[in-house]
Structure 1
Amino acid sequence: MFTARAPSRLLRPVIGSVHRTISTFTLPTSCPSCKAALASSVPACLKCGTISTVPVDVNNYSLLGIPYEPHKFALDEADLQKRFRRAQAACHPDVWTAKGEGKKDVAQDLSSRVNDAYKRLRDPLSRLNYLLELNGVALEATDKLEDEAFLMKILSLRDDIDEATEREDVEATLGETQENIENALEEVTKHVSEGNWAAAKSASVRLKYLEGVRAAGKEWIQENE
């Protein structure tokens, strides 16, 4: 099995070993004080001024009110953004400044967690890595790309960028890279839906290398404008 380590210029930081749990805690949909329907997924009621903390083991899907099943990976980005904005509007610290002692601090914590959840779920690679963490197969610093043919392809794409003298050449490489990324995302969606986390983890490593190529191409264009 090929385990040669790629040159450092190809590598990007990987997430360390973190094993999260899929919480069974259900966030309330109505205010525990006034019983009014909550405007978002977070326990913050602007009608009566009640705001509560959320247990630390509540995962990002639950925090933003997104069903974990059946489509854990293939999220609707517009829906994700809408849920994020609703949650932020309900718990933004500025809204809770004058609503009572200590409430702004609770709002600050909720707002920070909502921001973090949105960032983790918005980007496909970050979302995949989070799902791997939830299912106990987080990427390790020692994980290597084991597909020799794929590694050679990555090296070739990076060489195309490093040796490019014209913008259109870099854009062509980025187009090929984007096609590979889309294929990898389709593969990931399939593995996640089947619960094949080992295969999803391998795909995540490949996807990370492709993202590195895309970042290098964008950097070349920016530096040569």
Structure 2
Amino acid sequence: YPPLRTFTSSSARPQSQPPPSSPPPNYYDLFRTTFPSGAPPSSPFTTDVRQLRREFLQLQARAHPDLHSGADKSRAEATSAYINEAYKTLREPLLRAQYLLRLRGVEVANDETAKVGDDDAELLMRVLELREGVEAAESEEEVEAMRGENEERIRESERVLAGCFAEEGRLEEARREAVRLRYWVNVRESLDAWEKGK
């Protein structure tokens, strides 16, 4: 799959980048210990977050701008920013799924009109009910019960996405599930922001 073109000028290319004629590596190519086989389907969608964190810290230690000067410092700053963005993306299942879809030419991250399929109306009604339930909650116990149910929905979406990215030919299914997961993550954020009486 074609990698994203993150850097737009020679001054923004990180130290470890190939010659100007080559695009930057994709995020999976950056974390070669965590993902020795590259992006799915060569590697599983599910990520070893602890290993990813270890490799992130190692990469950042080598790229830290304070270790460089002049033009090298500018390249190190660009590298550090790229590593940060890659880590943040690969750490979170929703961002990871959106990134993998983007590598395949499908943009869903910022498309508020993205549809999940034939069950759109049912899903949207369910999400609306959940949000109203959060707003009406009177106790931490109610919120925690809703949180547990929603986390199960998130886990199920992640499981479906893992299956979609494990094989070719399931791009549309992955797109729909990524949109569904985005709804569940939004519900999670509403639950996290809940305050009694607000």
1:23-172 paired onto structure 2 within 5 Å: 51-54=15-18, 55-65=22-32, 66=35, 67-69=38-40, 70-97=42-69, 101-139=70-108, 140-146=111-117, 147=119, 148-172=121-145
- Percent of aligned pairs with the same amino acid: 32
Q: TM-score, normalised by structure 2?
A: 0.80
From the superposition, tell whether residues 151 and 111 of structure 1 become closer, same or farther in structure 2 (CA, over 3 Å).
same
2:189 maps to which residue? Answer: 215
Q: TM-score, normalised by structure 1?
A: 0.71
Shift of residue 213, structure 1, vs aligned partner: 0.7
Give unpaired runs (5+ residues) of structure 1: 1-19, 24-43, 45-50
- Find the structure with the greater CA-based Rg: 1
Task: Give the AA of the match of 2:123.
Answer: F
1:201 maps to which residue? Answer: 175
1:21 aligns with 2:7: no
SS at match of 2:187: helix
Shift of residue 224, structure 1, vs aligned partner: 6.5
Shift of residue 151, structure 1, vs aligned partner: 2.3
2:151 maps to which residue? Answer: 178
From the superposition, tell whether residues 72 and 134 of structure 1 become closer, same or farther in structure 2 (CA, over 3 Å).
farther
1:10 maps to which residue? Answer: none
1:27 maps to which residue? Answer: none
Return the structure number with greater helix share. 2
Give unpaired runs (5+ residues) of structure 2: 5-13
CA-based RMSD of the aligned residues comes to 2.2
SS at match of 1:116: helix
